Amino acid sequence: MGLAAGSRSWPIGRSANWRGNWPPRRPAAPAPPDWKLESIRTGSGPKALRVHVGDCAMSGGKPLGREEARRMLAEGVEPCPYCNPENPLGMTG
67 falls within a domain:
yes
Domain membership flag for residue 86: no
38-89 pLDDT, tens digit per residue, is 999 999 999 999 999 999 998 888 999 999 999 999 999 999 999 999 999 9
Q: Write the DSSP string, 40-51.
A: EEETTEEEEEEE
Domain range spanning residue 49? 35-79
Q: Is residue 40 part of a domain?
A: yes
In a domain, 60, yes or no: yes
- The reported pLDDT for the residue numbered 31 is 85
Tell whether 3 is covered by a domain: no
Residue 47 lies in a domain: yes
| Number of structural domains found in the chain | 1
Between CA 34 and CA 51 the distance in angstroms is 11
CA–CA separation, 21 and 1 (whole Å) = 18
Q: Is 89 a domain residue?
A: no
